[in-house]
Amino acid sequence: GQQLNQSPQSMFIQEGEDVSMNCTSSSIFNTWLWYKQDPGEGPVLLIALYKAGELTSNGRLTAQFGITRKDSFLNISASIPSDVGIYFCAGNSGYALNFGKGTSLLVTP
């Protein structure tokens, strides 16, 4: 599948800080999605983006679908301890997802 480059690889922040992570691809996707995975669990969908330039929010999370359709970013505002986990971007190339390698987020109280 297509290679998705996700950065940063890991983040270590204090509770209350804002977080930003992004994902780029050499290929165009029609859909960008962000998933979160807790230890020992499967990924869970956070936000889905279907249109280039789209900006979507879900509570403290905001994500954007890049105009070129080759990138996306995810912001988390006012982080809390339960935001800890691995965040994956995914591009939909038809009927299956291509995932990035993930951004590991640690939040200290």
Partner 1 sequence: EAGVVQSPRYKIIEKKQPVAFWCNPISGHNTLYWYLQNLGQGPELLIRYENEEAVDDSQLPKDRFSAERLKGVDSTLKIQPAELGDSAVYLCASTFDPGSGELFFGEGSRLTVL
Binding site for partner 1 (CB under 8 A): 1, 4, 6, 31, 33, 40-45, 48, 88, 90, 92, 94-102
The one-character DSSP state at 76 is E
Q: Is 102 left (phi over 0), alpha (psi -120 to 50) or beta?
A: left
Q: Are strands 10-14 and 103-108 parallel, antiparallel or unpaired?
A: parallel
C-beta of 19 vs 89, nearer to partner 1: 89
C-beta of 40 vs 59, nearer to partner 1: 40
Residue with tokens 């509770």: 15
d(CA 96, CA 73): 20
C-beta of 7 vs 17, nearer to partner 1: 7
Q: Least distance (Å) from partner 1 to the CB of residue 78?
A: 26
Q: What is the torsional sign of CA 66, 98, 12, 45?
A: positive
Q: Least distance (Å) from partner 1 to the CB of residue 77?
A: 23
C-beta of 40 vs 109, nearer to partner 1: 40
Q: Least distance (Å) from partner 1 to the CB of residue 15?
A: 25
